[in-house]
């Protein structure tokens, strides 16, 4: 299992190799013979690399009909890094964030992996400590690698991120959280192959009742080999 985090508005999986050997005991320097049994057990290896803002033209686009605006972004976003920063948004409106996150996943499991993605909390306003339910505010949808170009608009169908039911530790603006699961939620993606690249856009649907301020939420991605 390996986790990665994306803050919006890698870590290598552990590798363990166990060696168990049954060897005959030697009572004297005399030459002895016997059978040796060596058993190898290899844990699943998972590597997840998360790249936000992964292609030129990334950024926020207001949901409009007709010709699409040029994407823009806030100061915390930059090509191949930073945060998914929508910049200035407005209550009661919807926005698409193009080329939000690229997930490169590799495992030694012949049966593939499950990808989980959840919010560590609800969408939080630093100005007045109010929150908006993440499942009604922040969404994800498949994108492209950049070739062909991302065809999504702010009206494209998307799936809501859910607030985790796991145990969250270390969740603050400057501190990436961790989530401990006793039971995994439904995966946002499931693969039957050992290596895959996944690309996502985000959508932000701002409630009309949202108060002014600077909002953030951590999205935690977890990959588990099948």
What is the distance between the alpha carbons of residues 200 and 198, in angstroms, rounded to a whole number? 7
Greater confidence (45 vs 188) lies with: 188
Domains of the chain by residue range: 2-225
Report the mean per-residue pLDDT for the chain. Answer: 84
203 — phi, psi (to 5°)? Answer: -125, 145
Cβ of 44: how many Cβ atoms within 10 Å?
Answer: 18
Cβ of 185: how many Cβ atoms within 10 Å?
Answer: 16
Q: Are strands 113-119 and 189-191 parallel, antiparallel or unpaired?
A: antiparallel
* pLDDT above 50 for 26: no
Tens digit of each residue's pLDDT (9 = 90 or more) over 195-204: 999 999 999 9
pTM (2 decimals)?
0.82
User: Reduced to 3 states, what is the DSSP secondary structure of residue 69?
Assistant: coil
CA-closest candidate to residue 95, choices 159, 66, 145, 138 = 138
Q: What are the distances in angstroms from CA 187 to CA 193, 199, 201?
A: 15, 15, 17
* pLDDT above 90 for 160: yes
Looking at residues 59-65, what average pLDDT do you find? Answer: 95
* pLDDT above 50 for 86: yes
Are 126 and 217 within 8 A, CB to CB? no
Cβ of 145: how many Cβ atoms within 10 Å?
Answer: 14
């Amino acid at each position: 299992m390996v986790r990665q985090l994306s803050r919006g508005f890698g870590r290598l999986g552990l590798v363990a190799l166990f060696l168990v050997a049954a060897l005959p005991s030697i009572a004297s320097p005399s030459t002895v013979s016997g059978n040796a049994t060596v058993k190898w057990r290899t844990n699943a290896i998972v590597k997840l690399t998360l790249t936000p803002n992964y292609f030129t033209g990334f950024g926020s686009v207001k949901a409009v009909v007709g010709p699409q605006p040029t994407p823009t972004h806030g100061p915390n976003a930059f090509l191949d890094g930073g945060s998914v920063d929508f910049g200035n948004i407005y209550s009661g409106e919807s926005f698409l964030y193009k080329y939000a996150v690229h997930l490169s996943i590799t495992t030694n499991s012949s049966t593939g992996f499950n990808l989980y993605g959840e919010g560590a909390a609800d969408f939080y306003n630093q100005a007045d400590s109010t929150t908006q339910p993440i499942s009604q505010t922040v969404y994800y949808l498949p994108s492209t690698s950049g070739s062909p170009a991302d065809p999504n608009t702010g009206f494209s169908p998307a799936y809501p991120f859910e607030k985790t039911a796991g145990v969250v530790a270390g969740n603050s603006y400057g501190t990436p959280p961790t989530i401990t699961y006793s039971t995994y939620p439904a995966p946002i993606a499931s693969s039957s192959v050992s290596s895959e690249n996944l690309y996502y856009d985000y959508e932000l649907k701002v409630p009309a009742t949202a108060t002014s301020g600077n909002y953030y939420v951590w999205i935690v991605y977890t990959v588990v080999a099948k």
